[in-house]
Amino acid sequence: DTAVSQTPKYLVTQMGNDKSIKCEQNLGHDTMYWYKQDSKKFLKIMFSYNNKELIINETVPNRFSPKSPDKAHLNLHINSLELGDSAVYFCASSQTSGGGQYFGPGTRLTVT
Amino acid sequence: DAKTTQPPSMDCAEGRAANLPCNHSTISGNEYVYWYRQIHSQGPQYIIHGLKNNETNEMASLIITEDRKSSTLILPHATLRDTAVYYCIVRVNYGGSQGNLIFGKGTKLSVKP
């Protein structure tokens, strides 16, 4: 069974569109994250979220918003997509009490 | 978060031990050393973490110096599938916002036949 899954794996869309990426974890973790990996392969945290707090990296545009319907899901909504949003987006989860983070396989977003 | 320094690249012969060093001279007393790796086109993979004692699991061993200013990740019998970028990260052992991972450039390990 896949621990952290993301859909879709690939997403190609035009500038100005609104899109969502879904993430689900079956590890029973209570904290989830979104990371962005750009073309230079740098991984950067975008959000961390549990049922008590949402922490947004100050560099993330407000066009990006996480939505968590329940503890096992953290979806990423992106409004008014721009060329610079093209990247691979990774979801991850962990326990708030600590330990390693477990990552999904990534979603490659291409904005044309 | 404390800054870490890793060599940009290393080679290792298949079947031999791969020893990946990491310097973290400004590590705080409550910060752990975490290791992750990213195989090409995959998501990062958690390997191991430790505070001050040496740790071992099914994937690797982590050796932390007594002063905690450096550590070494050991893959005892490297295989071609261990070719990846390895990241050493120091952070508090907390899964909330205080525990966000700050990735550096890592070490690109190439395991050769």
* pLDDT over 70 at B51, yes or no: yes
pLDDT for position B19: 98
Q: How many CB pairs under 8 A join A and B?
A: 73
Please give the full DSSP string across chain A, using - where no structure is assigned: --SEEEE-SEEEE-TT--EEEEEEE-S--SEEEEEEE-TT--EEEEEEEESS-EEE-TTS-TTEEEEEEETTEEEEEE-S--GGG-EEEEEEEEETTEEEEEE---EEEEE-
Residue type present at position A100: G
Please state, for a pLDDT cut of 70, what percent of chain B lies above it.
Answer: 93
Q: pLDDT tens digits for chain A (112 residues)? A: 679 999 999 999 999 999 999 999 999 998 899 999 998 888 999 988 887 678 777 788 999 999 888 889 999 999 999 999 999 999 999 987 778 899 999 999 999 9
Question: B106 falls in which pLDDT band (50, 70, 90)?
Answer: very high
Amino acid A65: pLDDT: 92
- Residue B111 corresponds to which tokens in the numbers above? 């395991």
pLDDT at B92: 79
B12 has pLDDT over 90:
yes
Confidence class for position B94, pLDDT limits 50, 70, 90: low
Rg of chain B's alpha carbons, rounded to an integer? 13
Say which range, A51-65, B20-34, B91-105, has the weakest mean pLDDT: B91-105
A23: chain B residues, CB-CB within 8 Å: none
C-beta atoms surrounding B112 within 10 Å: 11
Mark which residues 23-82 of A lie under 8 Å from B by CB.
29-31, 33, 35, 41-45, 48, 50, 52-53, 55
Contacts of A43 in chain B (CB under 8 A): 38, 44, 101, 103
Q: Report the pLDDT value the prediction gives residue A41, as an integer from 0 to 100.
A: 85
Count CA within 13 A, CB hemisphere, residue B23.
Answer: 5
How far CA A37 is from CA of A108, B16, B61, B105, in Å, comes to 9, 31, 27, 12
Set of chain A residues whose Cβ sits within 8 Å of the Cβ of B102: 45
